[in-house]
Amino acid sequence: MDHVESVRIEDEPLLLTPGPVTLSARVKRAMLRDLASGEPAMQETIAWSRRYLLGLCNAQGTHTAIPLVGSGTSGTEAVIGTFVPANGKLLIHTNGVYGDRLVEIARRIRTPYTSFRTAPYTPPTPEQFEAAIAADPGITHVMLVHCETSTGILNPIEPIAAVCRRLGKGLLIDAVASFGAFRLDARTLSFDAVICSANKGLQAPPGLAWIVAKKSALEEAKGNAHSLTLDLWDQNQHLDRTGMFRFTPATHLLLAFAEALREHEEEGGIEGRHARYHRSWRRLVDGMRQMGFRTLLEDAVASPIVATFHEPLDPGYSFKALYEGMKRRGFIIFPGRLAAANTFRIACIGVVTEADIGRALEALAETMGEMGVVGMGRG
C-alpha cells in the first residue's frame, strides 16, 4: 500500500486545494506535546528543520533558514521589507494572483518598486526580465513567483536567475507553492531569498513561513526592515545566538513541521514528492480530458501542484453545485483566487494519491450528471 495512504485519517473530506492541505495522522499527532520554548527538545527540533531545509536547497554554508510565525504571505512581506533597502528598487514580475500580491505588499510597505505583467497562460522569458532591468538602472532586486498557484503555471526560474546573476541583481523567489516538490539549488540559482510555507508541498499545518536566505545578502540588509516582527535579519541573529525565536515560538506547529520533514525525507525527498504529485496530476488531467474538459495551460508549462480547467458551457453548470456535490462525496475543491475567468482548479498536493484522484474523478462525473451537464468544456 502507498505509504501516504496508510497514515491518513479517512473520515474527513480530502482537500484538493492548494493549501491548507490534507495532513497525515502522524504529522497531526506530533502536535500532542506541550514544550516550553527554552527546552532543548524544542531547540533541537528547530535546528534540525533549519538544517534539513538548507540541505533541500544545497545551501549549507552560504545560506541560513529562518522560520517565522505567519502564513506564506508573511514570509513574502518579510523578504520584501528586509532585503530591499530604501535606496534600492524591486522589479516584480506577475502573471497571476500571487504575483499581484507581491506588488500589493511593495506598495503597502512603501518599498520602491516597478513591475511588469505577462499573460497568465504563457511563461515569461529571460529576455523580458533583461529588458525590464535595462529600462531602469535603479533596480537592485528582482522578485517573481515560481509556481503561480492561481493557474498552476511554472515560471522558468533557471534562465531568469542567470540574468540576475549576470547583471548583479538580488533574486527573491516566492516558492510557497513549489517548495518541497521542486529543487531550488542555491549553487546554481544564487538566490538572495526563497520563501516557502509549511502548509503546501511540505505537508505541515499552516501558520509557519520559512525563508532560505543568503547570509551575505542578509548581513547587508541589517536595519532595513519596515517591521519588528518581520525583520529577518533580527530573527536570524537571535536564532543563531540562542536557538530560539525572539517572541513566542509556535511550538506545536514546529513539532509538526519537523515530523512533516521526516515524512518528506522518507518519501524520497524532492524527487519522491514530485513523482507522487506528478502521478496524481497526470491522472487528473488525463481523466478530465477524457470527460471533455479543457485545461487552461498546455502541459509543457503546467506544474503538478494544481490544474486549472475551463468551466463547462452547459447552462446546467454552476460552480456552487460542483463544489457542494464534490463536498458531499468527500472532496473539497478550491473556490477562489483565479487568474482567468470561467475556470476552476483542482490541486494535487498534500496527502493525496493517484487512487484518491481516481475517486475524485468519479465524484466529479457523478456531480456533473446530477447537474445534467453534458459535453463538458466543448464548444
Ligand X SMILES: *Cc1c(COP(=O)(O)O)cnc(C)c1O
Residue list, annotated binding site for substrate: 345
Of the ranges 69-77, 109-117, 228-236, 323-331, which one interacts with ligand X (CB under 6 A)? 69-77
Residue from 72, 249, 304, 325 touching ligand X (CB under 6 A): that is: 72
The verdict on 123 binding ligand X (CB under 6 A) reads no
Please identify, among the stretches 66-74, 229-237, 316-324, 370-378, the one whose residues bind ligand X according to the rule CB under 6 A: 66-74
In the chain, % helix, strand, coil (3-state, to 5) comes to 40, 15, 40
CB 187 within 8 A of CB 38: no
Binding mask 182-221 for ligand X (x = CB under 6 A): ---------------x------------------------
Place of cell 532595513: 224
- 353 burial type by CB count under 10 A (0-12 exposed, 13-18 middle, 19+ buried): buried
Contacts of 189 (CB under 8 A, 6+ apart): 157, 158, 161, 171, 173
| Burial category of 354 from C-beta neighbours within 10 Å (exposed 0-12, middle 13-18, buried 19 and up) | middle
Single out the segment in contact with ligand X by CB under 6 A; choices: 33-41, 72-80, 226-234, 269-277: 72-80
Return the SS3 of 125: coil
Name the segment binding ligand X (CB under 6 A); options: 71-79, 86-94, 114-122, 351-359.
Answer: 71-79
C-alpha cell at 79: 523578504
Shortest gap between Cβ of 206 and ligand X (angstroms)? 7
- Residue type at 12? E
Does residue 73 touch ligand X according to CB under 6 A? yes
Nearer to ligand X, 154 or 225 (CB): 154
Contact call for residue 100 and ligand X (CB under 6 A): no
Question: Is residue 303 part of the contact set for ligand X (CB under 6 A)?
Answer: no
Residues contacting residue 191 through CB under 8 Å, at least 6 positions apart = 161, 171, 172, 173, 184, 212, 214
CB of 161 to ligand X, least distance (A): 17
Q: Is position 98 an interface residue for ligand X (rule: CB under 6 A)? A: yes
Name which of 92 and 177 has its Cβ closer to ligand X.
177
Residues 6 or more apart whose Cβ sits within 8 Å of residue 315: none
> Contact with ligand X (CB under 6 A): which of 24, 94, 95, 149?
149
Number of residues interacting with ligand X: please give it, by CB under 6 A: 13
Q: Residue 316, Cβ neighbours under 10 Å: how many?
A: 12
- From the CB of 67, what's the least distance to ligand X, in Å? 14
Three cell numbers, residue 338: 483565479
Looking at beta carbons, which residue is closest to ligand X?
72
Residues binding ligand X (CB under 6 A)? 18-19, 71-73, 76, 98, 145, 149, 174, 176-177, 197
